[in-house]
Structure 1
Amino acid sequence: MKQHVSGSQPVDLTNCDREPIHIPGTIQPFGFMIVVGSDWIVQRAANTELYLGIEPLGLLGHPLGGVFLPHAMRSLRGRVSQLRGDDAVERIFSMRLVENGKPFDVAIHFSGPSVIIECEPARGDEIEVSSFVRTMITRIQNADSMQAIMREGARQVRSLTGFDRVMVYRFAPSGAGEVVAEALEPGVDSFLGLNFPATDIPQQARALYVRNVFRIIADVDDAPIPIQPIDDREPLDLSLSLFRAVSPIHVEYLKNMGVRASLSISIIIGGKLWGLFACHHYSPRLPSFAERSAAELFGQMFSLLTESRLRSEQTAYEDSARKVADRLMAAAAQDSDRLTDAQWMGDLVLDAIPADGVGVFVDDSVSLTGLTPDEQQFRTLLNALNRRNAGQIFTTNRISDILPEAEAYSDKAAGLLAIPISRRPRDYVLLFRSERLRSVRWAGNQEKEVEYGPNGPRLTPRKSFEEWSELVRGEAKPFEEAEMRVAEALRSTLLEVVLRLTEAASEDRRRAHEQQKLLISELNHRVRNILALIRALMGQTSREADDVNAFVATLDSRIQSLARAHDQLTADQWGPARLEDLIVTEAKAYFQPDRQSVRMSGPNVSIVPEAFTVMALVIHELITNAAKYGALSDSGSVDIDWRIGSDGELVIEWREIGGPAVMPPKRRGFGTTVIENSIPHELGGEAVTRYKTAGFEADFAIPARYVASARERDGVTKAVQADRTGGADLISGKKVLLVEDSALIALDAEDSLRELGASEVVLAASNAVAARAIEGGDIQLAVLDFNLGRENSMPTAERLADAGIPFLFASGYGGEGTIPDRYAHVPVVVKPYGTNQIETAFAELGRSLAGDA
């Protein structure tokens, strides 16, 4: 049944929020809609006469197969079978639906038990538009700040869609939006910096923006087309529809702004509506189906990149805040009086969470510092907090919302963050923020007027969009989500301190309960240590990296080093592993062609797992530094000797010979810290480094408890030789064909090929596109994904073989039993793969070609 707001009911924002915009019963006229059941019998239709020459009522009750061509029905059935999840939509480009008819672009999705098929005339631009998205994303990735990301996003959306104005809204926690970036046609008024109240986008519209991230209104003056039949049956849910007609309220809203067409792309962060690309055009405009699909894809990629950038910034902040929790634990655990000292607590906590005042309430004792209520007002506020869920972090930027009398001191304390530090609702640390007087620039008066229109009393959008100002009082700057997470970490630390201080005086039952809680905290602590190791690698690497590429490469190498060490340990069920294997594995990962080997000598020594991962990072940093700055960067070599000392300790000597002159580093980087501090700090051993002009030297001593076994052998010095040579040489300057049906994998592989020196990379998602590329000439090498969805790349392999063009395969199945025997000699890159794997495979291909010659 259709929902209505009673004409006798007072009209307010709640009524606007209840408008059933997802079931309008009509569509926009730039295409037609057919709705079928699971038996593919037509249940409903709209606007078919204009495009198919058949009235909607004439289709009802008939099989869709009697209207559409057989191949079209096969495609539709196949796409329906691929729909996964409630909000999935499949698209088909340039498909001929009826005999002698023009091709249509088609979108298909479920609405309850029914299948909705939406069709519009095809423009045939899907290949051109799809290639544009990668360039758009690259420009976003190169932006160096959040503001630059927003600004570049607006420019890219306008470049793709051609709308007169493209704005980026960012929503506040209250739901109000601010225009934080825009791109404009010359002569169009700027809305940059304007604020829009939360009521401009009703709640049900926000829910739709999350489910359906793309929305187009081609012409606000278009008359909506009814979906036939018009009867009392259950209304059709058009939440995911591309053609869904527009709310009359929203149409009037746009007309009041002089806007004829609009387009929106949701920015979803963490599953929530974080922002919006809002596009306006002052004449009718309908981008092509392919352009709209590309814009939707760009919006999804933009959301992921924005979320990644936000998390990186938050991680850096939380890393620094974590040190505050460590200092708090160390100091408070030694002196219980610290917990009741607001001055000390403020000096410590405010380094992590900015605030204007701190109040502490422990064991009925109050301590205040900075801008806070007085003691009586503070106790009254605590009573109000205790009526809430006192066991959780609580925040508000308007204390007067929970305690009206707090308005009297809002100039000093308008917002708060409450951190409970005991299981009982009586002990708190409260952070206060003072009133932030600010002038908000709203786009028009936010009080919507009530008018009587053709549909009776209902809300009418604002008639004036002239800028006006509102002075916001009694409100503080909100505490952000990252600050809330830091507060939660501080709460856990303070809880642990309180538990430790009170454990001795607790009765047996409470002591047992608190001991269990401490055990749980210890388990959490161990898990956090694992996460902290990865986070520390990220943080330290970011500080010494000059750019994003260097950061990614260095971080990847360090994590790969840990992974290689882990693989060596797990290969023997997490037992002791050989030092020689560790050195060989790390050295081979960093050798370049024609470099001298690393020479090793010493007994057959195995190290226990606890020390093996530490040594992996140390050896990794030594090898890396030698390859970048030391002996292996020129024509030198490295000698590594080890022996068992008099006390059973493992003594390792590292000597670099014949490289460039060595100078002590001007700054102490993370790699140097790992080399000099890891063994003494984590293993209780020794590490000594010497920066001699003739070459870098280092001596290490690993305590005997970490040495699992040591067997003497002959004194022959072993050399580590490079495994991969010639891969980049083979690729350098070549035009490479990359056949890959996954867009994301193709983009990543393209970057790797360019990094290895390819002069040009031609992307193809199918054999047909690959054939055209080969016929065009100049292809010199190729990488073929063997499985291409509904086909494999054998036809392309045959063409390449006939043309004498070298190629290699890529496969997610490892190649075994997949590649035909006649191509068993062709190297196979196993997914997932990166630059190193591609280079190694091309090196193997190069050796194979040299052998054939």
Structure 2
Amino acid sequence: MPRIDGTSARPVVNDRPARAVVLAGGAMTCANLNLANCADEPIHIPGLVQPHGALLVFDDQQALLGWSANANELIGVMPVLGAAASALGLPSDTLAALHDVAAEMVDGEALPSACEVFIGAREFDCIVHGHRQRLLIEFEQRAVGSDVVASFALKAHAAIDRLKRQTSIDALLNMAVQQVRQLTGFDRVMAYYFRHDDSGDVVAESKVDSIDAYLGRRYPASDIPDQARRLYLLNTLRLIADVGYQPVPVLGREGDAAVDMSHSVLRSVSPIHVEYLQNMGVQASLSVSIVVNGRLWGMLACHHRTPRQVPYSIRMATDVLAQVLASSVQTLEARAQAALIERAAELGSRMLAAISEDDNVIATLDAYADELRQTLGADALIVSQLGELTIHGELDVAVATAIVQALPADGGVLYQYTSLDQWPQPLRAQLGTWAGMLAMSFDASTQGVMVALRREQIEQVRWAGKPDKVVAHGPLGPRLTPRGSFNEWRETVRGRAEPWNDTALTIAGQLLAKLSRSVAARNAEIDRARTELMAMLGHDLRDPLQAIAMAGVLLERGSPPAPLGRRIQSSSNRMQRLIGHVLDMSRINGGIGLGINPTSVALHEVVSELVDEVGAAHPGAHFELDIPAPVPALADADRLVQVLANLLSNARHHGELGKPIQVSLHTIGEQAVLTVRNHGVPIAPALAKKLFDPFKHTSLNNSRNRRGMGLGLYIAHQIVHGHGGVLAYRYDNPQVVFTVALPLRPASSLR
């Protein structure tokens, strides 16, 4: 195309490969557009404008850089590259607006300024804005007179006032579609709400009676690609006055960068979107973004069956209405969120107060389970600690156990699953209809966790057409084609739960933080109390017990001997052993260690002597000893006596009366293996998991061991571990078996 000054000019379009929007046969096409590159289409720099207006582009010094090819025809401007704006014969109001916007430029950006101008007999809306160091003037020809436009001001004010009086989001959206349709005159106005996956539900609609309703239908996220969503945030209004328009190229200097039209009102749209609207039978479209907290919350979409141009000032009124709508939505959502968080905080405070008064965290949480389920919006709740769990809701125990066991052991962490494919593979077959999980690990040391569960949300989605795009072959080869039908198409969605929204996650996070702090504080308080008790037992009671034991010895050796003396000795010896356990526990908790001192020892003699001693002290017990050969080792003999004494005591207390207790010592490879067997019932699986934990209450279940503290096996396990060995339990029907495997040479970790 010849330029005004006689040299050549070309359209300023993006230098893109063949897939880019180009002028072909007087209509836009999208050659070679496919599923892989459609989302990358740079729709903000199309190099084209819609024909109902003209565009002029200036640098920040107001020198002409580019213009739409219809500038001369539509606004009578004879473009000269580099010409000053003041030399182009522009209306004075336009020049004043341009000067003001140029003066307000900050970092190459300036907000738009609009005015009404006449060029000959034609009336235009003139919009000026600054973007990327350029000044853009757009002349949009009006289809109606100023008097008609002015009458909409009162309507817009009334519409905004009605909107402000609504007290729910549903009422807001229903009022908004009615008011926007009255302002703009479109056949249909829909309000979209964008879900967590960016699909859009039509939640409100106002339309003429002669067209189908789209209310309640869902549109897939792919209908609005990511780059379009970004533009909807930057430029909240977009008008297509006539879907069948012929685009007008933007001309300029060879080599200049394409004009960024992100904020332009005349920007030509993607051919994919044009085809999309044509498939819907739409000839004119207006979209108004609803932006809440910086995200595209929703949209007002206006459709018309014939071309329709809405004056700029009326569009601005709808934009203001949408901003009022967004502000009201934000206020209502914030108010609802604050109320939920306040109720959750009050619940958390009551829970923490209860936990501070009760050592049993599970019992405390159980008391508040129903409130927790309601607050978190859960269908079931699991509370687990130290291998015990309780369930609230219709959930199988085996499934609940598997869920808890599959969780990471980290404390103070939230875990969320929203669909079956996010769960660990081995668990999926067991879950049934459970698909959503929100887990709160509040105490890693005790495996304390609270798990909220949601069932899969089986829903019949009413898609506006099947949510697929197809690649069709035409004159330009394979290209992406929008969905050709917008008739209702239903799909059953399974395996997905409703995700926890930001409010629920905030509440869960706050509950988790409070619960973790409270449990940690309670644990610290208990540890301090235990430490003080242990110190008292070790230092304040040992001397009196020694005196009592000596008194027992004197009584027993008196003349005549007193049977009471033997009882006093037995009881005081037992108390000395308990104190020894407590002191060992104190050393372990204090990080001092048990003080294992290995020396050369004849392990077979240590075992034989202790079995003889216990047998003599308990004539009613029958011991069978099996030591086929000497077993020399490097070990702490006193500590190993402590281990074996505990195992023999347990065998006496828990074994069947009259059945022998079998003790064997063998050398197997590089290990000494000591085994203690007694006839009895197997240890329950729940207890077996915690067998070597301290302070077990399960030992109280045996009528012959009412005073056990649960420390003996824990300390024995620590002693064996300190020798680099392993203490293990198994059941060989009909015998309970404890095995100590020790290396014949001590591990380097001995201390």
CA distance in 2, matches of 1:275, 1:114: 31
TM-score, L = length of structure 2: 0.62
How is 1:171-570 mapped onto 2 (pairs within 5 angstroms)? 171-229=194-252, 231-339=254-362, 343-363=366-386, 365-372=388-395, 374-375=397-398, 378-379=401-402, 383=406, 392-422=413-443, 427-504=448-525
> Are 1:110 and 2:133 matched, yes or no?
no
Unaligned ranges ≥5, structure 2: 1-13, 21-30, 529-751
CA distance in 2, matches of 1:231, 1:472: 53
Structure 2 residue identity aligned to 1:462: R
Structure 1 residue identity aligned to 2:517: E
Where 2:339 maps in the other structure, the secondary structure is helix
Where 1:23 maps in the other structure, the secondary structure is coil
- Partner residue of 2:738? none
- Partner residue of 1:18? 40
How far is 1:286 from its partner? 0.6
Maintained 8 Å contact 1:263/1:280:
yes
Query: Alpha-carbon deviations, 1:545-593, whole Å to 9, x = none?
Result: xxxxxxxxxxxxxxxxxxxxxxxxxxxxxxxxxxxxxxxxxxxxxxxxx
Unaligned ranges ≥5, structure 1: 508-853
How is 1:57-206 mapped onto 2 (pairs within 5 angstroms)? 58-67=79-88, 68-70=90-92, 72-82=94-104, 89-96=111-118, 102-122=122-142, 123-125=145-147, 127-206=150-229
Maintained 8 Å contact 1:342/1:368:
no
Q: How many residues align?
A: 501
Return closer, same or farther for 1:103/1:257 CA change in 2, 3 Å cut-off: closer
Maintained 8 Å contact 1:340/1:360:
no
Where 1:169 maps in the other structure, the secondary structure is strand
How far is 1:323 from its partner? 2.0
Structure 2 residue identity aligned to 1:89: L
CA distance in 2, matches of 1:307, 1:179: 19
Query: Alpha-carbon deviations, 1:583-619, whole Å to 9, x = none?
Result: xxxxxxxxxxxxxxxxxxxxxxxxxxxxxxxxxxxxx
Maintained 8 Å contact 2:351/2:364:
no
Query: Alpha-carbon deviations, 1:277-302, whole Å to 9, x = none?
Result: 01110000010111111111111111
CA distance in 2, matches of 1:178, 1:166: 14
How far is 1:350 from its partner? 1.6
Structure 1 residue identity aligned to 2:256: R
Return closer, same or farther for 1:332/1:410 CA change in 2, 3 Å cut-off: same
Match of 2:64 among 38, 42, 53: 42
CA distance in 1, matches of 2:443, 2:268: 55
Return closer, same or farther for 1:455/1:62 CA change in 2, 3 Å cut-off: farther
Where 2:438 maps in the other structure, the secondary structure is strand
Structure 2 residue identity aligned to 1:140: L
- Partner residue of 2:55? 33
- Partner residue of 1:565? none
Structure 2 residue identity aligned to 1:461: P
- Partner residue of 1:648? none
Q: Which has the higher contact order (CA 8 A, sep 6+)?
A: 2
Return closer, same or farther for 1:167/1:476 CA change in 2, 3 Å cut-off: same
CA distance in 1, matches of 2:405, 2:63: 65
Maintained 8 Å contact 2:97/2:128:
no
CA distance in 1, matches of 2:498, 2:398: 23
CA distance in 2, matches of 1:173, 1:86: 35
How far is 1:377 from its partner? 6.8
Give the stretch that moved more between structures: 147-156 or 129-138. Answer: 129-138
Where 2:467 maps in the other structure, the secondary structure is coil
Return closer, same or farther for 1:323/1:465 CA change in 2, 3 Å cut-off: same
Query: Alpha-carbon deviations, 1:1-60, whole Å to 9, x = none?
Result: 5445879x99764532212111111010111111100111110100202222345xx332
Maintained 8 Å contact 1:260/1:282:
yes
CA distance in 1, matches of 2:319, 2:448: 50
Maintained 8 Å contact 2:102/2:110:
no
Structure 2 residue identity aligned to 1:196: Y
Structure 1 residue identity aligned to 2:310: P
Maintained 8 Å contact 2:229/2:296:
yes
CA distance in 2, matches of 1:103, 1:469: 48
Higher Rg:
2
CA distance in 1, matches of 2:521, 2:117: 71
Maintained 8 Å contact 1:31/1:118:
yes
Maintained 8 Å contact 1:340/1:365:
no
Structure 1 residue identity aligned to 2:470: E
How far is 1:327 from its partner? 1.4
Maintained 8 Å contact 1:25/1:236:
yes
Give the stretch that moved more between structures: 70-79 or 140-149. Answer: 70-79
Give the stretch that moved more between structures: 18-27 or 318-327. Answer: 318-327
Return closer, same or farther for 1:175/1:79 CA change in 2, 3 Å cut-off: same
CA distance in 2, matches of 1:384, 1:320: 28
Return closer, same or farther for 1:381/1:470 CA change in 2, 3 Å cut-off: farther
CA distance in 2, matches of 1:127, 1:10: 46
How far is 1:477 from its partner? 2.4
Return closer, same or farther for 1:87/1:54 CA change in 2, 3 Å cut-off: closer
How far is 1:487 from its partner? 1.3
CA distance in 2, matches of 1:30, 1:160: 21
CA distance in 2, matches of 1:230, 1:460: 34
Maintained 8 Å contact 1:400/1:406:
no
Give the stretch that moved more between structures: 299-308 or 239-248. Answer: 299-308
Return closer, same or farther for 1:384/1:15 CA change in 2, 3 Å cut-off: farther
Return closer, same or farther for 1:144/1:448 CA change in 2, 3 Å cut-off: same
CA distance in 2, matches of 1:137, 1:455: 48
Maintained 8 Å contact 1:373/1:409:
no
Structure 2 residue identity aligned to 1:470: E
Where 2:376 maps in the other structure, the secondary structure is coil
Maintained 8 Å contact 2:126/2:138:
yes
CA RMSD of the aligned region, Å?
Answer: 3.0
Structure 2 residue identity aligned to 1:504: E
TM-score, L = length of structure 1: 0.55
CA distance in 1, matches of 2:527, 2:59: 68
How far is 1:367 from its partner? 4.0
How far is 1:420 from its partner? 3.2
Maintained 8 Å contact 1:80/1:90:
no
